[in-house]
Structure 1
Amino acid sequence: MKEQRLAGLYQDQKLIDIRSLVEQKKYGQALAELREEENRKRFPDDSFEQGEFYYISALVYYHTARYKDALDRGLKAYRIFKPTSANKTLGDIQYILGAINQALGDFDEAENQLRDGVASYRRVDDDQGIADCFNKLANLAFVKSDFPQASNYLRRALLHVEKTPDQRMKAGILGNLGRIYALIGEWEKATENLKLNLAANEKFGDEINLARSWLALGYVQILQRETGSAKNSLQNAYDLIISNNLPRELAIYHEYFGELCLVEGNYKLAEEQYQKALEIGEKIAPDGDVINQVCRLMAELKLATGHYSSAAKYAGRSLEVSQQLGDRLEEGTAYRILACVYDHDLESTRAKKQLSQALKVFQKTKNDYELAKTYLAAGKLKCLDRLTALKFLSKAEDIFSELGTKPYLAATYMTLAELLFAENEISQGILFLGEAEKLVVSLDESQLKTNLEQLKRRAELQQVQNGATGNSDYSLSNLLTLNPKMRQILELAAKFKDADIAVFLEGETGTGKDLLAKAIHYSSKRRDKKFIAVNCSAIPEALLENQLFGYAKGAYTGAEKDKPGLIEVADGGTFYLDEIADAPLSIQVKLLRVLETKELVRLGDNEPRKVDVRFIASTNRDLNQALEEGKIRQDLYYRLCGVRLSLPPLRERKEDIPLLLDHFLKESGPLAENLTEVELAELYSKLQSYDWPGNVRELENEIKRSVVLAGIKERNLLELLSEKLDGFKNGSTSASLNEKVTEFEKNLILQALRATNWVKTRAAKILNIPESTLRHKIETYHLNPESV
């Protein structure tokens, strides 16, 4: 009887028409039709027609973010169909009830409804319905930060959707996988999946899911600091959101756009966007997932701008809602923010407790990206001792390096440098600043660049305060070499050290040109006068002219008083022109005049000024080629080239590596003094097997940096350096390409295995290959934990 009445239900033309509007996502029009039907009250109580009417009402109210009305209609529909055998319709109702309860923040009830929905659909072999429920269950697990469970549900959804012709849903599942990859820091996979999802939604003309795809892609681009692309993606999403009247998606748009503003340092606009998102969130679901996310973002903004009490308030609200929702990701992030707030307020015990809870959450959920961000935050806490902070930063470096997250890796290096500067370990801190600079130069990240410049200025100031630019470390007699060519160079430099003729140094980057220039000065009769160095490639032409020659009052707008140039300041001493081949030709003409006449004229002045300066110049270019190309004026070259010294690269003086190693280890302090004679001999051999394209500077940086990391990670220096060098061994120059590729692959696999303590699943993930392939490679190369 009931089945017969149900069969007749779908013959009601008005309900069929409203269903059609829902399928076309014309929710506003559908809502108007439903209200008209509700006023007419033409369906008998508890009839299937009334149940169908309630179900369609629940759908429309859900899609227009009227969740309480949607829940009321959905439960009425469920009560009517529950006693029947209409399993397909019952499954549809259970699915929408699951979605409504999730939006309202009742995750347990949402999960129960969706699991029951799977059971209802199974009774009628409805693969489409089963896939829908698993996809929604994956979304629930995703919100709870249970990413393994979310991935499991998505795989189960794919199994069922493959049995249907529904390519749209397959595209949707790919999009959801992309969102999971985004949050765990696998941004390339995230982008790949989201772009597939985007293309499919464009193909099908699905504007609502297309808006969601653009939002998700924009978010990934924000995380990758691709700000231009992110703006385009978010604008595309916004246009679709407005044209389709999607309030929840509009809240998410404001949330993401606020994050973009925060990345760009526009705090005021970020706060405005977050407020708009909060207003929408409070209307559609006061205890929903929009609220906890935006409150957390607002807390991060307040923390960044130094409003700690406001940060605590928003973080507390986010934590409360997150715990109600079971959203572990947002819960852990709220703990992290509160740890920073309590640390600022000098509440050490509470700060450490919040930090511990944040770490537990991210370790349990296996979210490496957020875990690394928490390690980075921990490295900045005042309540932790220096060694603990360094260990946390070392862990952050390991994870960010593995994930390839350059902005956070650069921030980690800068924090390490800051800690070392605080302990007056300037040279070691500068090494980490160098690592940060390599990353920051390729990023569109103004705040990071500003922070980097501030730290560099701090390092320079501390060096001056410590007298680090004195002459005690620089003299020709202190330069270390066993190499015959280097000895000849030093002997020649010693012979001409007191002469007034200019010296020209050439050699690859890192061969020691700067050090030799200082040694010549501090070994000469000019040692008590100034040694001033200028890198000609690092300063714009207009500024370089001002720096070198100075200017007279009124020479240009802002020139309020006379200022001597650096050449004048160096009077009686030595002036070092580093990278002279990069100096503009107009500057070279003026330098030539100084060399010829021993006079200079300030910018905006007519009066020549006598200067007594000894010039040393250098270039890392091929000197003959630079002359042929006109990079260096020949007349200037002849003036500068009183003595020409060509420094050999380190690969041509490998006999010096043991001497240099001993010297750098002594400079690095007591942490480096624990190597045995056997270990030293092994280290000499390993260092000499590498060609060091960055020359002595690269060798120094690697040794000093490894000494610091060995202390932080409590590992043997030999082991740490060996791991680094194993990946760079050149092997025999006569080896075939195949042999070199094989050796490279073998070393790469060994590094991944060692980094994961031989956990093959994790190593395979790092290498981005199937675990079965990794096991085959291990067997092929006969690798084991003792492999060298």
Structure 2
Amino acid sequence: MGKDFVTGLQAKLDYIEVLVREQKFSQALAEVKEQETLKVSFSSQQEKGRFLYLSALTLYNLGRYPEALFEAKAAYDIFRFSSDNKSIGEVQHLLGSVYQAQGDFPKAETELRDAIAAYRRIDDHLGMANCLNKLANLYFVKSDYPQTINYLKKALVATQPSGDLKMKSRILGNLGRTYTLLGEISRAEDNLKLNLEANLKFNDEINTSKAYLALGYAALQKRDLDSARTYFEKALKLIEKNNLPRELAIYHEYSGELAFVKGEYLEAEVHYQKVLEIAEKISPQGDLFNQGQRLLAELKLAQGEYTKALKAASSSLEVSLQLEDQLEQGAVYRIKAQIYDALREEDKAQKFLSRALETFKGIKNNFELGKTYLAAGELKCIDNFAQLKFLSKAEDLFGELKLNYFLGTTYLKLATHLYQQQEESKALLFLQEAEKIFKENGYETDLKACLFLKNQIERKISQDKNKKAIQTYTFENIVTKNHRIKEILDIVKQFKDTDLSILIEGETGVGKDLLAQTIHFQSKRASQRFIAVNCAAIPETLLENQLFGYQKGAYTGADKDKPGLIELADGGTFYLDEIAEAPVSIQVKLLRVLETKEVYRLGDNEGKKVDVRFIASTNREIGKAIADGKFREDLYYRLCGLNLKLPPLRDRKEDIPHLIGYFLEEAGLDLSFLENKDIYQGFLEYDWPGNIRELENEIKKTLVLIDWKDDKVFNILQEKLKSLTKRHSKATSLAEKVEEFEKNLILEALRATGGVKSRAARLLNIPESTLRHKVEAYHLEQE
């Protein structure tokens, strides 16, 4: 509509109304002021009332609340005694909006309810929807989110008869903002995107700017920082274009929070100060001032400026109490708890923590409640158990809300707490969950913090393991009275700190692994890694990868560089168990490492220098393996810097009583009955083909079958040894061996269960009828 075509006061009022509808508030105000300057005469009170209403509406949208209130009251005085319910509803809706903006919530609610009544008298559903939407906003500011959602849903119902898509869009936007503060981000984004789509369709720049702000804030809550920044930048262009002071303050509020989350504290403070400057101009005791002070308090807390933090928090709390804004009250209580905790004022910290928890429970805001539990998990004024309890509650709430960032943060804090309590294994479990969340969602900064803590924990575990190993694997702890073993230990003590490779030969179970670990943990390399590989247990292709590693792209599936185990043992000891089983192709590469002290990864032409001490072991006759071409002679001599041959247990039977005592003591048995020398006779007569490992296993198996701890252990073992001796007799057939083995298993089970066949059958995992048949067949009842 062109200005040149406007004639008469009525036409002027129509023109101003169009400008307001098109949200051209500055232009509308200029027209209002022009009419005031001209001191026009109104043809009726109705016309004057309409002029005052449009003037008030324009001033309200420009954030000039005191002037808007004055004009709106004057308009209401004109309409109040008329039958013009449409105008009465419009003016009372505007009065409610102004009172709310000024923080006078009781008056705001009264005006809005009266406006709904006026609209209802004329069946103006759109007018009712508008008031219900505003009433929802009133409860939103008071943090009564269930009532907010209730009124918004009523507003949606009220829009249906009119089919007004713009009004429906506004309500959806407000639902989205409410769900954001409840932490229901997915639901919030669904509503906000519908709101944005409608605003763009109607070319509504003001509400589009609000939608961008709301979507940016939702993205910020789930820590999608790039999306948040993009939304805020889009909002700012429209805010500046349309001169929207309140939205500008909200932009600075949200942008400050974004900077704060990123750790850019100076930038955050600049934004917060701008919020307070705007709030001072348009509503010094309103929600913008309240939120600005609370955010400033949070910032000063993070900066360690506790006096300034307390001052800002107190200013925010004073206003939030006046506004009945329970969300802000709870947030300030939480901040004060953190401040007083930092100041070591435990009573005050606990008092404000309790208030924060009560507040958020009262308004049923699980998002803020979860954030408070998270903060409580780090307070020094509460004990370790309570901290873990709070963090566990935070985990539950964030899990229900599906807030990945906050859930990951909770896991990280749980891991940190458990690490500080020296619960490293449990800490790693939570850390794995945090790492998974941060990696999947691209939270790079938090992922770095996660990996840093993981390295600390793994280093601590390694150090503790090393300390324990150094105490465990000592020469003194090797149980022996055998002269040959003592000679070997004396030799090892002389060479333990050299870089000589060592080859340990001996039958299975003689203690080769124990000796290898003892050499390492009693050497100068004890603080470094001991890595062992069983060459017989890994396929050739996999063994090569394990030992030497590979370069990215070396073969299909090699998507990153991977160091081999020899490389990882740099500075420490590498133990090649069952070396005689290594394929010849692997032996060639091992020889190269021993000669050059360089490791070549698969697919890499450049070697990496390593400082590794090699120990190898075998239970085969190495000379025969060399003669058969299965083991390289040059590798043998490289490994044989020191050659140690451990005798079998049958050649060192003097160690048997001491080994038995050691294994029984490990199991916690009373060893007083061992003073009787005769009880060892059966053990000394048996040849122990499985050596020390067989002796240990037989004792352990027997202990599993019995529930007492005395010399009955020996009685059972002696019986077992008789059967073992028979079992190894050359004259025994296969069928006899099977029968003898089965008989002895049944006897052991019957002894262990006191002769109760049902229990013995369960122990043997066979039907009781089968057991009874075998007992009869083997004539075991007599035994």
With normalisation by structure 2, the TM-score equals 0.64
Q: Which residue of 2 aligns with 1:289?
A: 287
Q: 1:624-773, aligned counterparts within 5 Å? A: none
Post-superposition offset of 1:538:
13
Q: Which residue of 1 aligns with 2:414?
A: 416
Q: Which residue of 1 aligns with 2:426?
A: 428
Q: What is the distance in 2 between the residues matched to 1:350 and 1:29?
A: 53
Distance change >3 Å, CA 418–CA 468, structure 1 → 2 = farther
Amino acid of the residue matched to residue 382 of structure 1? K
Post-superposition offset of 1:39:
1.5
2:387 maps to which of 384, 389, 394:
389
Please state whether the residue corresponding to 2:529 is helix, strand or coil: strand
Post-superposition offset of 1:592:
6.8
Please state whether the residue corresponding to 1:12 is helix, strand or coil: helix
Judge conservation of contact 1:598–1:610 (CA < 8 Å) in 2. Answer: no
Extract unaligned runs of 5+ from structure 1.
1-8, 476-497, 503-517, 551-564, 577-587, 617-637, 643-662, 664-788
Post-superposition offset of 1:111:
0.8
Post-superposition offset of 1:170:
0.8
Q: Which residue of 1 aligns with 2:55?
A: 57
Judge conservation of contact 1:599–1:609 (CA < 8 Å) in 2. Answer: yes
Q: Which residue of 2 aligns with 1:613?
A: 614
Task: Determine whether 1:380 maps to 2:382.
Answer: no
Distance change >3 Å, CA 593–CA 260, structure 1 → 2 = farther
Q: What is the distance in 1 between the residues matched to 2:518 and 2:94?
A: 86
Q: Which residue of 1 aligns with 2:404?
A: 406
Q: What is the distance in 2 between the residues matched to 1:593 and 1:295?
A: 71
Post-superposition offset of 1:247:
1.0
Q: Which residue of 2 aligns with 1:569?
A: 571
Judge conservation of contact 1:342–1:348 (CA < 8 Å) in 2. Answer: yes
Please state whether the residue corresponding to 1:441 is helix, strand or coil: helix
Q: Summarize deviations over 1:366-389 as a string: whole Å, max 9, x none.
A: 000100111111111111111112
Distance change >3 Å, CA 606–CA 319, structure 1 → 2 = closer
Q: What is the distance in 2 between the residues matched to 1:27 and 1:189?
A: 33
2:191 maps to which of 193, 196, 200:
193
**More displaced, 123-132 or 292-301?**
292-301
Q: What is the distance in 2 between the residues matched to 1:212 and 1:130?
A: 22
Amino acid of the residue matched to residue 613 of structure 1? F
1:123 maps to which of 113, 117, 121:
121
Q: What is the distance in 2 between the residues matched to 1:241 and 1:54?
A: 26
Post-superposition offset of 1:425:
2.2
Judge conservation of contact 1:598–1:612 (CA < 8 Å) in 2. Answer: no
Task: Determine whether 1:371 maps to 2:373.
Answer: no
Distance change >3 Å, CA 149–CA 525, structure 1 → 2 = same
Amino acid of the residue matched to residue 612 of structure 1? R
Q: Which residue of 2 aligns with 1:532?
A: 529
Distance change >3 Å, CA 547–CA 133, structure 1 → 2 = same
Q: What is the distance in 2 between the residues matched to 1:397 and 1:454?
A: 22
Extract unaligned runs of 5+ from structure 2.
1-6, 474-499, 505-511, 532-545, 554-559, 578-585, 618-634, 640-666, 668-783
Task: Determine whether 1:280 maps to 2:278.
Answer: yes
Post-superposition offset of 1:456:
2.7
Q: 1:240-255, aligned counterparts within 5 Å? A: 240-255=238-253
Q: What is the distance in 2 between the residues matched to 1:364 and 1:609?
A: 64
Q: What is the distance in 2 between the residues matched to 1:26 and 1:326?
A: 33
Q: What is the distance in 2 between the residues matched to 1:301 and 1:33?
A: 44
Q: What is the distance in 1 between the residues matched to 2:551 and 2:350?
A: 45
Q: What is the distance in 2 between the residues matched to 1:10 and 1:521?
A: 109
Q: What is the distance in 2 between the residues matched to 1:449 and 1:31?
A: 53
Q: What is the distance in 2 between the residues matched to 1:374 and 1:539?
A: 47
Judge conservation of contact 1:549–1:601 (CA < 8 Å) in 2. Answer: no
Task: Determine whether 1:158 maps to 2:166.
Answer: no
Q: Which residue of 2 aligns with 1:349?
A: 347
Q: What is the distance in 2 between the residues matched to 1:249 and 1:415?
A: 36
Please state whether the residue corresponding to 1:613 is helix, strand or coil: strand
1:36 maps to which of 25, 34, 37:
34
Judge conservation of contact 1:474–1:519 (CA < 8 Å) in 2. Answer: no
Q: Which residue of 2 aligns with 1:48?
A: 46
Post-superposition offset of 1:615:
9.2
Q: Which residue of 2 aligns with 1:226?
A: 224
Q: What is the distance in 2 between the residues matched to 1:256 and 1:35?
A: 35
Amino acid of the residue matched to residue 118 of structure 2? S
Distance change >3 Å, CA 49–CA 418, structure 1 → 2 = same
Post-superposition offset of 1:133:
0.3
Distance change >3 Å, CA 223–CA 306, structure 1 → 2 = same
Q: Which residue of 1 aligns with 2:264?
A: 266
Post-superposition offset of 1:81:
1.0
Please state whether the residue corresponding to 2:441 is helix, strand or coil: coil
Distance change >3 Å, CA 189–CA 591, structure 1 → 2 = farther
Distance change >3 Å, CA 125–CA 453, structure 1 → 2 = same
Amino acid of the residue matched to residue 334 of structure 2? R
Q: Summarize deviations over 1:6-30 as a string: whole Å, max 9, x none.
A: xxx9971111111111111111111
Amino acid of the residue matched to residue 259 of structure 1? E
Q: What is the distance in 1 between the residues matched to 2:552 and 2:345?
A: 48
Q: What is the distance in 2 between the residues matched to 1:114 and 1:239?
A: 32
Q: What is the distance in 2 between the residues matched to 1:92 and 1:355?
A: 44
Q: What is the distance in 2 between the residues matched to 1:362 and 1:228?
A: 30
Post-superposition offset of 1:448:
2.2
Distance change >3 Å, CA 273–CA 574, structure 1 → 2 = farther
Post-superposition offset of 1:414:
2.1
Post-superposition offset of 1:574:
4.7
Q: Which residue of 1 aligns with 2:67?
A: 69
Q: What is the distance in 2 between the residues matched to 1:470 and 1:231?
A: 52
Q: What is the distance in 2 between the residues matched to 1:279 and 1:350?
A: 31
Please state whether the residue corresponding to 2:613 is helix, strand or coil: coil
Distance change >3 Å, CA 38–CA 606, structure 1 → 2 = closer
2:103 maps to which of 95, 102, 105:
105
Post-superposition offset of 1:43:
3.1
Amino acid of the residue matched to residue 189 of structure 2? T
Q: Which residue of 2 aligns with 1:133?
A: 131
Q: Which residue of 1 aligns with 2:652?
A: none
Q: Summarize deviations over 1:55-84 as a string: whole Å, max 9, x none.
A: 101110011111111111111111111111
Distance change >3 Å, CA 326–CA 364, structure 1 → 2 = same
Distance change >3 Å, CA 614–CA 302, structure 1 → 2 = farther
Q: What is the distance in 2 between the residues matched to 1:607 and 1:166?
A: 73
Q: Which residue of 1 aligns with 2:175?
A: 177
Please state whether the residue corresponding to 1:306 is helix, strand or coil: coil
Q: Which residue of 1 aligns with 2:23?
A: 25
Post-superposition offset of 1:146:
0.6
2:595 maps to which of 594, 597, 601:
597
Q: Which residue of 2 aligns with 1:678?
A: none
Judge conservation of contact 2:326–2:359 (CA < 8 Å) in 1. Answer: yes
Q: Summarize deviations over 1:695-740 as a string: whole Å, max 9, x none.
A: xxxxxxxxxxxxxxxxxxxxxxxxxxxxxxxxxxxxxxxxxxxxxx
Judge conservation of contact 2:341–2:380 (CA < 8 Å) in 1. Answer: yes
Q: Which residue of 1 aligns with 2:492?
A: none
Q: What is the distance in 1 between the residues matched to 2:27 and 2:401?
A: 47
Q: Summarize deviations over 1:392-438 as a string: whole Å, max 9, x none.
A: 11111111111111221122122222222232222222222222222
Distance change >3 Å, CA 591–CA 269, structure 1 → 2 = farther
Judge conservation of contact 2:208–2:235 (CA < 8 Å) in 1. Answer: yes
Q: 1:493-512, aligned counterparts within 5 Å? A: none
Task: Determine whether 1:149 maps to 2:147.
Answer: yes
Amino acid of the residue matched to residue 613 of structure 2? D
Post-superposition offset of 1:358:
0.6
2:214 maps to which of 213, 216, 226:
216
Amino acid of the residue matched to residue 172 of structure 1? R
Judge conservation of contact 1:10–1:16 (CA < 8 Å) in 2. Answer: no
Amino acid of the residue matched to residue 362 of structure 2? K
Judge conservation of contact 1:293–1:318 (CA < 8 Å) in 2. Answer: yes
Q: Which residue of 2 aligns with 1:760?
A: none
Q: What is the distance in 1 between the residues matched to 2:608 and 2:221?
A: 56
Q: Which residue of 2 aligns with 1:316?
A: 314
With normalisation by structure 1, the TM-score equals 0.63
